[in-house]
Amino acid sequence: MFSCELCLINVFFPLFFHPQIIVLLVHHGRQNCTRKDTGVLYSFWVISLICEIFPFQTLTRRILQGDSTDMPRICLFFISFGLQVAMLVVSSFSEKNELTKKNPELTASFISRITFNWYNSIIMKGYKRPLEMDDIWELNEEDTTKTNYDVFDKHMKAEVKIAKMDLQERKEKRKYKDGAIEMNGLAKAQSQDVLVKEEKKSKKKKESTSGTVKDFPKSWLYKTIIKTFPGILLHSAFFKLVHDLLVFVSPQILKLLVSFTSNPAEYTWRGFFYAILLLVAALIQSLCLQQYFQGCFVLGMRVRTTLMAAVYKKALTVSNSVRKESTVGETVNLMSADAQRFMDLTNFIHLIWSSPLQIAISLLFLWQELGPSVMAGFAFMILLIPINAVLATKSKTLQMKNMKNKDQRLKIMNEMLSGIKILKLFAWEPSFENQVQEIRERELKDLLNFTYLHSVSLFIFTCAPFLVSVVSFAVYVGIDSNNVLTAEKAFTSISLFNILRFPLAMLPMLISTMVQTSVSCGRLEKYLGGDDLDSSAIRNDPNVDAAVIFSDATFTWDQDESPTVKNVTLEIKEGQLVAVVGSVGSGKSSLISAALGEMDHIHGYINIKGSVAYVPQQAWIQNDTLKNNILFGSQLDEERYKRVLEACALLPDLEMLPGGDLSEIGEKGINLSGGQKQRVSLARAVYNSSDVYILDDPLSAVDAHVGKHIFEKVVGPNGLLKDKTRILVTHGISFLKYTDEIVVIVDGRVTEKGSYKTLQSNNGAFAEFLRTYAKQDSQEGEITVFTGADGDDNDEPPEPSAEIPDDIVSSTLKRENSFHRRKRSSLNGSLRRSLKDVAKGKMNTEDLKKSVKGQNLIEKETLETGKVKFSLYMKYLRAIGWCFSFWIFVTYVLQNAAVVGQNLWLSDWTKDAETYYNRTYPSSQRDLRVGIFGVLGVAQGIFVFLGAFLVAGGTVKASRLLHSQLLSNILHVPMQFFDTTPSGRIVNRFAKDILTVDETIPMSFRSWVACALGVISTLLMICLATPIFAAVIVPLAIFYYFVQRFYVSTSRQLRRLDSVTRSPIYSHFGETVSGLSVIRAYGHQQRFLQHNEDTIDINQKSFYSWIVSNRWLAIRLEFVGNLTVFFAALFAVLARGTVDSGTVGLSISSALNITQTLNWLVRMTSELETNIVAVERVDEYIKVENEAPWVTDHRPPESWPDKGIVEFIDYKVRYRAELDLVLQGISCTINTTEKVGIIGRTGAGKSSLTNCIFRIIESAGGKILIDGENISTMGLHDLRQKLTIIPQDPVLFSGTLRMNLDPFNQYSDDEIWKALELAHLKPYVETLQEKLFYIVSEGGENLSVGQRQLICLARALLRKSKILILDEATAAVDLETDDLIQKTIRSEFSDCTVLTIAHRLNTILDSNRVMVLDAGKIIEFGSPKELFEQKGHFYSMAKDAGIDRVSGTVF
């Protein structure tokens, strides 16, 4: 025998060196690679060692027996063997270099990669302390957003092109069909057409991205995704295939083990060999499964990233028609919910082919065991397919309805958060709360039906495996009396049926996910395949001699509507200052939008020579530092930067801001006044140094003297932009004489153009316009601008510039020690830098450190750390209801009892094979066995169904409660919360977190209960079979517990980081959409895309880390499960002879099942704990401190206030407890029907005063009495409903015009028409097809700013309360509209007390009295005439505004 073995060694030893040479070459080839070892090399060393164990033991035995022939060869063999062992050990260690610090995965060894050992350090860190973003490693290059999106974009373009050609074919076919119908019956077709048109009209406005009525390019997204990620798809498919094949090895080994225990004659070593074989098969299976899961999850992550980036990029280029159909809320939904659905699907995508494969192989092996009788079971499975198809179709319908409801709810939430101040001032919260709750009820109803359907499908697929087994066993023992169920047959079959359980259980989940994803796919295809903005009509020909040319330009906002810009032909020379004037709604802003390429082109073209800078009418400010808002991505040139700050009158503002120009500006510029926002917006344009400047009324929001300064220093003939081409839309007539040309727009057409003098002498519309305001202008006095021109008109020559010192604006703007300064020093800014220091840029590092304290406005999102509190689970269970919770638990316990009973019954049944050996099997015994086995199976199904049904009911109840608490509380929180919290963060609670509470937690909750009880019942069965196994449970449980604890603390924190880093993606997206025209005008799309990619990548880091943490855990848990199987097999081998084969079969088949259940249990524990974070986040906002109650026991009389007397008694107020006072002991009385103007420099406390009357800010001392009632003792709504305000920013909500005026339906149509007539809107509304039911788009975008302001006036006219407050209400309208508003207020509110905060001093000159505020104190209070004569503050402000005399009161 030895000589044979020696021959083998002699043959193989020389051959051994050939692979060694190849290995050397491979090693040499990998010298320059990041990773030195490969899977191939590692596998080679392992297989090589396994193969050489046999020669090793042969040679060792020879030496021990004293045979020392051929000693040199034996020595060489041992040296070689030792080196191979060393090589294997060395290649198990990972490389260490610079890359390891950034990402250890790049340098990890093969064994470290397949066991995820490289991740240990993060797990340890996460266990010791809560993880932070800095602890997480960099992303792999192939996982970054840019890498994936670039490939996706290339394939998407090709696929969309094909899909659009298909769409064209479909349209032509439809045309052809319609033509055929028309030929057959014209009359009938016509009548149908009329019906269709009518229907379309009513549906048109309702259409959104979620709707799929309108045809669009289809079936291209799946193909694009497959073409983008083929590598990772095939990689994960390979591991899944290997795993699926190995799954069937275990039942075959089980079969051998059961036959081994029933045959005492077999060698004992075989039993041990089978046990080890079972362990090895299970280990390889586990490694393959985890590699497959890693591939799937990474694929899911990449798909989600790519889709988010694609939606963002599309938003930058999308056409008006697509943009109209999809609101910001809906588009955010595409980024969050729809991209998430694709990610969920990719996690299970391989089950499409894997499930049928597993089912087919199971049936093949079952045929071997049970013969043709297995076909009865298979036929039963086929019957389930149509049932499932019906359920899937129903589910899809419900899912589509649900997505529409979600979109609608988020859209309203977005708008409510944008206009929250208006809701509070008008006490409209209940109306909007009801709107949201109605949509939410519809959403929950569909969700409940969806979960009920899911329960039915769960019942069917829980019953499926054992019903198949019942049918198969029954037919097997029924067709032939010789067929007796042996333990070998029964438990091999049961193992195979258990394998069947997984694909059958996953199929309904896969189908439901595919249904949901197909809905999302349609929505994404519609949005991403939609048309881009066609900017071909905007040319950039540098050879034209004019700066801007409009050639017969006709543009529209909607292809279905008449054009807004009509046949405009216009030429603007380089370096000219051109003013565009016209009344509200005449099309001035549309002309600007056309030039910027924001409108749909009908005919003609526009040529712009050079780059463009744009200042929109409503300033768009980013949530960033003031400096970055101005630089807007440009390099810092200190000299130019200072010049721009000075010219735009921003230096005094910098002195007020706690962090200077490094102060953080809140979302939408929340901590800047309207004038400051506009000046920052202007500074951005000026700093940008472009060729053409398009300025859409930038001077309307600033005070007159500041406007004068800006015109002189920036826009005017001597300003910074004097050599640039400037197109200035303006409502102010004072500046017109200094322009080179004036363009008059009426109804979208250019009616006149020429110089100021020419147009004046033409005696046309412009001259009429001037005459109307001549009186007003003379009353206001000339606003003098230093032009350096020779005064070529008949007006007085300009005053010499020496009369107004250079820093008049500094002095006027610096006077405030006030609201804005205090509000911003809110954040402890102890910094007060002098103007000189700012100008010189002297700021040492000490100052910088100090300033950093005060410059952040937006509070960082609170990130909970540590273990999720048990009270949260209790809160969720309370929300479900204790009754529901108890019965859910009971049904699942009973279901597991049925499982244990069924298995024990089967174990007992197999003993019949011995009892009735060589005897006829009685039919009564057979029927009893099959009957009880079947009854226990059906009982399982019924209990699962009941459990799922109860979970559905309970969790929907919890969802309803949590959402309504969250909504109610958000509407009750004080205004200050919204100032310091980005809306994206609040939307995230209503979008992602509520989605988790609605859909993810119920699934995790149900699975966790089922898995936990499943594990307990399985361990119980193994212990009943082999009691010694109980000894192994303890160490395994300890290991399991520690792995679980290590993992959960890391995983939970990673999920929290994922949530927190996701909010900025949505915030940035919302910000981008609102500033789209600015971003496109400056051509900064690429920079914003880059920022979006960076923001997504930061989120990806935490998400990828979470994926790896799951795999790290799963591989260790599967190891525990594999050891369970090994010990169950080992004890069965050791106990041979003392236990029967039925018990062995029961024990090992149960153990084989536990690996998967254990894995699911930990997955579900972590899922539940990481998802319950959503409840924690919702709960955080449910607990935010509320403002005062809306209604109290002390209610004012119904007729209150009937006089309108407002008394301030030593009234003090501060924004937060730790801050300085904003109003410092104000005392005054405003008498009945008195008209009081309130003036003061920016930040003197004017707006604070109005906020106090509405109790937006609460008193810090003193009181306000209205008609003798102390306002602090009554409910907020009782107060706010009795006051009226026309705010500075006109906020409208999407919905009908009527809803915007009267959300509670309190007024009749006649009253509303009357209000519209008085607000000068009736003629416009009457021209609209839908009249009062005209749909206002999101944010009122389909109305001009002036029209929006008039709607706010109509709101005030409807309410007609005794006290009216105008908060700079006419800042955004032209003089004509301003005049109309003033007239209406004089006539309609003559019997009311009116408080007016004014920018334009002339609007308050006819007040009874004027209140001058400075630093939160009243410094002057009297009639305008008296104050003017006193020559104090009012006099100096009037002089600054160019007013040189004040007549008596006119009001």
pLDDT for position 238: 92
Give the mean model confidence (pLDDT) for residues 1315-1323. Answer: 85
Give the mean model confidence (pLDDT) for residues 756-785. Answer: 63
- For the chain, the average pLDDT equals 77
Helix (H), strand (E) counts: the chain: 54, 22
Integer Cα distance of 621 and 608 in angstroms: 26
Integer Cα distance of 1370 and 1402 in angstroms: 12
pLDDT for position 1385: 81
pLDDT in tens, 1220-1269: 778 888 888 888 888 888 887 766 777 788 888 888 888 888 888 888 88
Please tell me whether residue 46 adopts helix, strand or coil conformation.
helix
DSSP 601: E
Q: Would you place residue 920 in the very low, low, confident or very high pLDDT band (cuts 50, 70, 90)?
A: low
Surface-to-core class of residue 69, CB atoms within 10 Å of its CB (0-12 exposed, 13-18 middle, 19+ buried): exposed
Integer Cα distance of 1299 and 166 in angstroms: 42
pLDDT in tens, 416-443: 888 888 888 888 888 888 888 998 998 8
| CA neighbor of 474 nearest in space, from 335, 343, 376 | 376
Please tell me whether residue 1231 adopts helix, strand or coil conformation.
coil
pLDDT in tens, 1002-1012: 888 888 888 88
pLDDT for position 1448: 52
HSE-CB for 146 with a 13 A CA cutoff? 14
3-state helix, strand, coil in the chain (%, to 5): 65, 10, 25
Percentage of the chain surpassing pLDDT 90?
3
β-pairing, 692-696 with 725-729? parallel
| CA neighbor of 478 nearest in space, from 1007, 76, 821, 933 | 933
What is the distance of C-alpha 1141 from the center of its chain?
57
pLDDT in tens, 749-768: 888 888 888 888 887 777 87
pLDDT for position 1068: 87
| CA neighbor of 208 nearest in space, from 322, 315, 316 | 322
Joined together, the tokens standing for residue 719 give 């300003």
List, in sequence order, the alpha helices (H) in 1343-1449. Answer: 1345-1359, 1375-1388, 1424-1430, 1433-1440
Integer Cα distance of 707 and 301 in angstroms: 51
DSSP 1287: -
Q: In the sheet where 725-729 sits, what is the strand order? A: 612-615, 692-696, 725-729, 577-581, 741-746, 749-754
Integer Cα distance of 815 and 811 in angstroms: 6
Of residues 787 and 565, more confidence is placed in 565
DSSP 664: B
Whether the link from the prior residue into 1303 is cis, omega within 30° of 0, is no
By mean pLDDT, which of 136-150, 824-838, 1032-1046 is the weakest?
A: 824-838
Q: Which amino acid is at 819?
A: F
Q: Would you tell me how many other CB atoms lie within 10 Å of the CB of residue 881?
A: 15
Give the mean model confidence (pLDDT) for residues 1135-1151. Answer: 73
Distances (CA, A) of 474 to 45, 305, 377, 480, 919: 51, 52, 10, 11, 19
- Angle of helix 1141-1182 relative to helix 882-909, nearest 10 degrees? 170
Spell out the residues 6+ positions from residue 763 whose beta carbon is closer than 8 angstroms to its own: none
pLDDT score of 912 more than 50: yes
Q: What is the largest CA-CA distance in the chain?
A: 131
- Angle of helix 374-418 relative to helix 487-528, nearest 10 degrees? 30
Name beta bridge partners: 1336.
1295
List, in sequence order, the alpha helices (H) in 248-338. Answer: 249-261, 268-317, 320-325, 328-333
Specify the residue for token string 């919890």: 958
| CA neighbor of 1301 nearest in space, from 569, 428, 536 | 428
pLDDT for position 865: 55
- pTM comes to 0.70
pLDDT score of 834 more than 50: no
Specify the residue for token string 């040499």: 28
Distances (CA, A) of 1017 to 307, 496, 1008, 1022, 1159: 43, 20, 14, 9, 15
Give the mean model confidence (pLDDT) for residues 219-242. Answer: 90
Please tell me whether residue 603 adopts helix, strand or coil conformation.
strand
By mean pLDDT, which of 472-486, 584-598, 796-810 is the weakest?
A: 796-810
Integer Cα distance of 766 and 719 in angstroms: 26
Q: Which amino acid is at 907?
A: S
pLDDT for position 1390: 83
Q: Which amino acid is at 1390?
A: S
List, in sequence order, the alpha helices (H) in 790-922. Answer: 808-814, 819-825, 835-840, 845-855, 870-880, 882-909, 912-915
Specify the residue for token string 């192989």: 361
Integer Cα distance of 609 and 727 in angstroms: 13
pLDDT for position 25: 64
Q: Are 341 and 307 in contact (CB under 8 A)?
A: no
| CA neighbor of 683 nearest in space, from 637, 729, 615 | 615
Of residues 220 and 1368, more confidence is placed in 220
Integer Cα distance of 694 and 288 in angstroms: 62
Residues constituting the chain = 1451
pLDDT for position 800: 31
Give the mean model confidence (pLDDT) for residues 211-229. Answer: 78
Q: How wide is the angle at C-alpha 1186 spanned by C-alphas 1185 and 1187, nearest 5°?
A: 130
Please tell me whether residue 253 adopts helix, strand or coil conformation.
helix
Q: Are 91 and 42 in contact (CB under 8 A)?
A: yes
DSSP 416: H
Phi, psi values for residue 1227, rounded to 5°: -135, 125
Q: Would you place residue 841 in the very low, low, confident or very high pLDDT band (cuts 50, 70, 90)?
A: very low
pLDDT for position 913: 64
pLDDT in tens, 701-725: 677 777 888 888 888 888 888 888 8
Give the mean model confidence (pLDDT) for residues 688-711. Answer: 81
| CA neighbor of 444 nearest in space, from 489, 406, 482 | 406
pLDDT in tens, 854-878: 445 555 555 555 566 777 788 888 8
Q: Are 983 and 418 in contact (CB under 8 A)?
A: yes
Q: Would you place residue 518 in the very low, low, confident or very high pLDDT band (cuts 50, 70, 90)?
A: confident
Give the mean model confidence (pLDDT) for residues 1310-1334. Answer: 84
pLDDT score of 1089 more than 70: yes
Q: Which of 376-390, 793-807, 848-862, 1178-1192 has the highest mean pLDDT?
A: 1178-1192
Whether the link from the prior residue into 1424 is cis, omega within 30° of 0, is no
Of residues 365 and 703, more confidence is placed in 365
| CA neighbor of 641 nearest in space, from 584, 752, 530, 720 | 720
Phi, psi values for residue 38, rounded to 5°: -135, 165
Joined together, the tokens standing for residue 272 give 């041990």
Integer Cα distance of 491 and 1038 in angstroms: 30
pLDDT for position 756: 84
DSSP 1289: S
Percentage of the chain surpassing pLDDT 70?
83
pLDDT in tens, 246-299: 888 887 887 788 788 777 777 888 888 888 888 888 889 889 989 999 999 999
Please tell me whether residue 532 adopts helix, strand or coil conformation.
strand
Integer Cα distance of 960 and 975 in angstroms: 26
